[in-house]
Amino acid sequence: MNETTADVAARLEALEKSLETVNALNSEIFYWWCTALMVAIHAGFLAYEMGASRSKNALASGIKNLLAFAFLMPAFYFVGWWIYLAFPTGLTISADAAAGLPWSQNMGPNVADQASGIFYAAFALFAATTASIMSGACIERIRLSGFTILAVLCGAFVWNLGASWGWHPEGWLVTSFGFHDVAAAGAVHMISGFFTLGVLINLGPRIGRYNADGSLNEITGHSMPMSMIGLMLIVLGFFGFLGGCIIYTADGWTTIYNTPANLSAFGFNTLMSIAGGMIGAYLVTRDPFWMMSGALIGVISSGSGLDLYYPGLAFLNSFIAGCVIPKLNDMLISKFKIDDAVGAVAVHGFTGIWGILAVGILASGYPNVEGPAISFTGQFASMIVYALLGFVPGYAVSYVLKLFGILRASPDAELVGLDKAEVPAMAYPESHIPAFADHASTSPAE
């Protein structure tokens, strides 16, 4: 049977619609599973922070992570996604902001929209990660109420304002300075790390952490194996996190900045960075906790240029960071008396600086789609913006909470353990049963 021109055109149109549907479904499925993998990050934070706590604080440390996750999902829905869409050019509200309003048809079950909900989900998990980064540093003395307020502030307001400025193709840091931060070493890790630093200054050290002469006492968690497993779960979740940093389109993969990229580059450089950071941290500490933290250091240190580095260069960059960052953490704790219980400021904040500046050195001159090419000057200027954006609200709001007595638990609660003071459950109830309790009234002579 002979086909007419109209028949051929109709078939081609139907084929094009089918391809569009397949591409849209593939995109949805890809980000769906990226989001699912990112939940593993929070399982990891849950485990490693409980393990890093003494047994009397284990449940309180875990509940902080659960509260951060639970509160940030609605907070990011009602205000967070709108902030990201609203402020790429600075503090002037963009026309795109309307799509992020909670009553917009983009923010509900609109079957014609196969992007808004899935991107909201991925970004909401990024937001929860920023709060969990702060959580570990504050264990064993922060009140649950104060922590929850700070978690919502960091995750639903602060970090995504920075993401709008520098992790958006039209962000003013991108268009003005050529800022490049493809895997959010700055937008997520550096901002939350410096937010945490501001909180820790007001929170103060744990009771018994420092002696009267300023010397340091070690406070070890009750389960190093739990912490190591938790950190490995975070590494697993990073593959979802990094997948969410790359854009799937019908024409191929791009970065958040619309520059060319592919999962192959991410695959090479992620694994090489993990290995480099682990080896570097192990060589300088021999500490299994820091060896696993080195995996995070590795990914973050190469994260800003994950799409650009040759794998051997990513390994070397992450290896050097793995050697240096634990020493910076030691300096922060011993010299500046900042009691960061898990090294979050160094692992995320300081390594975020490393990652941002490394791109300015190693990939200087590489073109961006929008704005000037990558440069050290542009990366440095953007890094200063991110440091201030993280630190100032973290310090200011935690200071206000401190004035109102909401920030820190009482000394009595801290000494007896936050589990007993704030959690109606016991992590290890069998430990409270005296040995041979059934024979407590019977002496050997009887």
Which distant-in-sequence residues (6+ apart) come within 8 Å of 350 by Cβ?
A: 193, 325, 328, 329
Q: Which two tokens stand for residue 95?
A: 């026309």
Task: Report the alpha-carbon distance of residue 88 to residue 95 in Å, rounded.
Answer: 11
301 is a domain residue: yes
- Phi and psi at 371, nearest 5°, equal 75, -170
pLDDT of residue 23: 64
Domain assignment present for 432: no
Task: Look at residue 3 and tell me if it is in a domain.
Answer: no
For residues 198 and 392, the answer to whether their CB atoms sit within 8 Å is: yes
Is residue 376 in some structural domain?
A: yes
Report the CATH number at residue 311.
1.10.3430.10
Is there a domain that residue 429 lies in? no
Position 436 in a domain:
no
CA atoms within 13 A on the CB side of 175: 10
This prediction's pTM = 0.92
- For residue 366, count CB atoms less than 10 angstroms from its CB and return exposed for 0-12, middle for 13-18, buried for 19 or more: middle
Dihedral (Cα; 354, 357, 360, 361), 10-degree rounding: -60
CA-to-CA distance for 118 and 349, rounded, in angstroms? 28
Q: Is 210 in a helix, a strand, or coil?
A: strand
CA 379 – CA 353 distance, rounded (Å): 9
Q: Which of 198, 218, 195 is nearest to 206 (CA)?
A: 218
Tokens of 145: 């109420």
Q: Determine the Cα angle at 152 with ends 126 and 73, to 5°.
A: 55
13 lies in some domain: no
Q: How far apart are CA 78 and CA 342, in angstroms?
A: 31
**Dist. CA 302–CA 289, nearest whole Å:** 21
**Cα separation values, 419 from 53, 136, 225, 427, Å:** 11, 16, 21, 8
The answer to whether residue 2 is domain-embedded is no
CA torsion, points 239, 342, 180, 41, in degrees to nearest 10? 20
Secondary structure of residue 26 in the 3-state scheme: helix
Structural domain harbouring 120: 20-424
What's at 70, amino acid-wise? A
HSE (CB half, 13 Å, CA atoms) of 300?
31
pLDDT in tens, the chain (446 residues): 566 777 656 666 666 665 565 566 677 888 899 999 999 999 999 999 999 999 999 999 999 999 999 999 999 999 999 999 999 999 999 999 999 999 999 999 888 787 889 889 999 999 999 999 999 999 999 999 999 999 999 999 999 999 999 999 999 999 999 999 999 999 999 999 999 999 999 999 999 999 999 999 999 999 999 999 999 999 999 999 999 999 877 678 899 999 999 999 999 999 999 999 999 999 999 999 999 999 999 999 999 999 999 999 999 999 999 999 999 999 999 999 999 999 999 999 999 999 999 999 999 999 987 789 999 999 999 999 999 999 999 999 999 999 999 999 999 999 999 999 999 898 998 766 554 444 444 444 43
